[in-house]
Amino acid sequence: MPKILFTGKREVVVDEGTSILDAALSSGVSIYHTCGGNASCSTCRVKILKGFENLSPIEEAETQVLDSFDLKTPFRLGCQAQVLNGEVEVEIPKWERAPRPNKTPKVP
Ligand code: FES
């Protein structure tokens, strides 16, 4: 059975074809997924440290998102990259959401 090591977090055994996002969510590993796994937001981006060859090929929709955010190998979208066999080591980049603008009107 394929295995995913989420660096610094945990190792999970998954069924063949499980996406990195699904594996993370089902094992309690926190990962953004703003568009719900539809290859349109890039918030699920992950860095593949080992086992890139054990993932599903990059399809057109994923290519478009990666290109639009200038993300190159070894980045993949967690919602699109499925683990096919072997072991994959994944780093979930630390990044911050932009702070929300303060919508409270200023009192003069
Ligand atoms: Fe939006 Fe993966 S969850 S691109």
**One-letter amino acid identity for 85?**
N
Tokens standing for residue 46: 């992950």
Q: Find out whether the beta carbon of 37 lies less than 6 Å from any atom of ligand 1.
A: yes
25 lines ligand 1 (CB under 6 A): no
Instruction: Compute the average pLDDT of residues 2-27.
Output: 95
Q: How far apart are CA 24 and CA 10, in angstroms?
A: 9
Q: How many CA atoms lie within 13 A of 89 on its CB side?
A: 4
CA 58/CA 104 separation, integer angstroms: 43
pLDDT in tens, 60-86: 999 999 999 999 999 999 999 999 999
Mean pLDDT on 77-100: 84
How many angstroms separate the alpha carbon of residue 21 from the centre of ligand 1? 9
Instruction: Evaluate if residue 98 carries a pLDDT over 50.
Output: no
101: pLDDT strictly greater than 70? no
Closest-CA residue, ligand 1 atom 4, reads 39
